[in-house]
Chains A and B, each alone.
Chain A
Amino acid sequence: MTITLAPGSSRNAALMERAVRGRSLWDDARRRLLRNRAAMTSLIVLGLLLLAALIGPFLTPYTYDQINKNDVWQAPLTGAHLLGTDSLGRDLLARLFTGLGVSLAIGAVATTVSLVIGVAWGATAGYLGGVVDEVMMRIVDVLYSLPYIFFVILLMVVFGSNFILLFIAIGAVEWLTMARIVRGQTLSLKQKEFIEAARAAGLTRFAIIVRHIVPNLLGPVVVYVTLTIPGVILAESFLSFLGLGIQPPMASLGTLINNGAQDMELAPWLLIFPSITMVATLMCFNFIGDGLRDALDPKDR
């Protein structure tokens, strides 16, 4: 924004200074987020976890599926294995790095799937309105009242342990809330002057949705995305726990916890370390999500 003022007055100069360095909504939000200690700590911890998942597997002397016949049931810190080994002598640290990576990857991909479907669906329904909106949201209502976990279980039973399908199955059921949030936001955005201006300028509906509606939805969508990722990680772990998700020797946090729970009497470390990693990951996402919500929507505080 530029304000032209009569030159000469120092008060005007000061005003100009302030006008030039205006703060956008995003500047404000960043400032508030930086001041939120829980969210910033979580961001750092999450960064470290991400780093561990990315480069950790290259740093351990063992691979996640390497069987060491001589090192079975080693307790942490007693031998060559920092976090101990399982019944096959597999290094827990290596498996933990891999499992964390798999869980985070599923979180990212499935959330992206839900993001794309949810935003497209919600923005279209909200912007077009009328019968289209009515029909599209009725479909969401119907899907909402399905016992979705049963369908995911059925899907996994039907198609087996297919990596890609696992992503899609979880993502496809997580988009409903996203569609509702986006539709609500679109309904209020639609009334704004800049949309009217775009319409007056002769843009097509598609262009208005993609270029003007969607970018302005970013705030609430970002918040919901950070809260969807832990939900997806939980869903995957839950399936893996039931034996329907990731199959051995591949590991995810869910399978590690499941295996650990079976051997917890003999080797409690196999349960405890994956559990701590899982809880830490989920907590980070939740704190960041809460922090983002406070930062982007200050009226809630």
Chain B
Amino acid sequence: MLRFVLRRLLVAIPTLFVVITVAFFLMRAAPGNPFSSDRKLPPEILKNIEAKYHMDRPLIVQYGEYLGGVMHGDFGPSLKYRDKSVLDIIGENYLVSLKIGLAAFAIMVIVGVSLGVLAALRQNGPADYTVMSIAILGICIPSFVTAPLLQLALGMKLGWLPIASWNGGQLVNMVLPVTVLALPQIAIISRLTRAGMIEALKSNYVRTAKAKGLPELTIVTKHALRAAILPLVSYLGPAFAGLLTGSLVVERIFGLPGLGKFFVTSALQRDYTVVMGMVIFFATLILLLNLLADILYAVLDPRVRLA
């Protein structure tokens, strides 16, 4: 187990290296720079600023300096927000994203698995068809369609929920963003759970459990569900990536002060260091979560041997 974790962490290093390299040169290839704005700076001042951030050196030297900094945990200063480091900016903004991300994650797992189990237990019944139809809709309706439609219906016409604001993370302000974020994932998770559950209910050990006279609830929760959610665990990695992508849209539509919104703005403003910092942050997060999913998989399925 320990060897497996270590080996995966070792593979993560070249991955992160590729991430940093590609992002660095992509960002630098972009036309314009963080200091070009509507107000034209005199060339002498521009030169001074560039010298301050070492941007007058050859690109490859800057790249080396950046890599060296990152290895020491130094992601540099923001180029747009003076007096703030990249870590400050991430630190100030990640809480909002984390909050709606975690809420959406909890809801999508609980609701998705429940619906999937329900559909599998009533296979080919009305409940099954209802859940599966909703699931197909959930997969086909992208978040940037559900979000404005829900705003229009629940926010404007009915006036039940605030349309767009964070307001310090009040519960009513979180309902719509979290719902929009969770919906497509609920759809996918319920489909995966249903398929796994139907497979598990047909297996021999479930028949044995039934023959022993175990109560239905025990069979479903203790025996069948454990096997049925295995495919779900390997879906957790992509699910998390989906949440990240969704949060870009959701934070923009609902005007939430989170990382997703910040990323697009920073990229457009050519705030090199902030963009790089965020790409590294997200890549690390995804790598760690994928590792976690693999470990969880091995814990749940004793047939898998991690080597």
Contacts and interface: CB of A to CB of B under 8 A. Distances in A.
A257 B144 contact: yes
Nearest to B17: A142
Interface stretch (A87-95, A109-117, A209-217, A276-284): A276-284
Contacts of A265: 152, 156
Interface stretch (A54-62, A152-160, A184-192, A196-204): A152-160
Interface in A274-297: 275, 278-279, 282-283, 286-287
Interface stretch (B170-178, B208-216, B218-226, B282-290): B282-290
A242 interface: yes
A282 B149 CA distance: 17
Interface in A210-249: 230, 234, 237-238, 241-242, 244
B58 interface: no
A20 interface: no
B145 A279 contact: yes
Given A237-B142, A241-B144, A154 B267 contact: yes
Q: Which of B142, B263, B283 has the most CB of A within 10 A?
A: B142
Nearest to B139: A286
B250 to A, nearest CB: 11
Interface stretch (A77-85, A120-128, A143-151): A143-151
Contact of B244 (A149, A151, A237, A257): A149
Interface in A37-75: none
B209 to A, nearest CB: 26
B237 to A, nearest CB: 8
Interface string B272-307: 000100110011001100100000000000000000
B257 interface: no
B148 A147 contact: no
B152 A145 contact: no
User: DSSP class of B's interface residues: helix, strand, loop or mixed?
Assistant: helix
Interface residues of B, number: 46
B41 interface: no
B25 to A, nearest CB: 10
A171 interface: no
A273 to B, nearest CB: 12
Chain A interface size, under 10 / 10 to 19 / 20 to 34 / 35 or more:
35 or more
Interface string B129-165: 0000000110111101101110110001000000000
Nearest to A230: B140
B89 interface: no
Contacts of A258: 144
B145 A278 contact: yes
B236 interface: no
Given A147-B241, A286-B136, 17 more contacts: A141-B11, A145-B15, A149-B244, A151-B22, A151-B23, A151-B26, A154-B26, A158-B26, A158-B30, A237-B144, A261-B148, A271-B148, A275-B141, A279-B140, A282-B140, A283-B137, A287-B136
Interface of B: 11-12, 14-15, 18-19, 22-23, 26-27, 29-31, 136-137, 139-142, 144-145, 147-149, 151-152, 156, 241, 244-245, 248-249, 252-253, 263-264, 267-268, 275, 278-279, 282-283, 286-287, 290
11 contacts: A145-B12, A145-B15, A147-B244, A157-B268, A244-B264, A257-B145, A261-B147, A264-B148, A279-B140, A282-B141, A286-B139
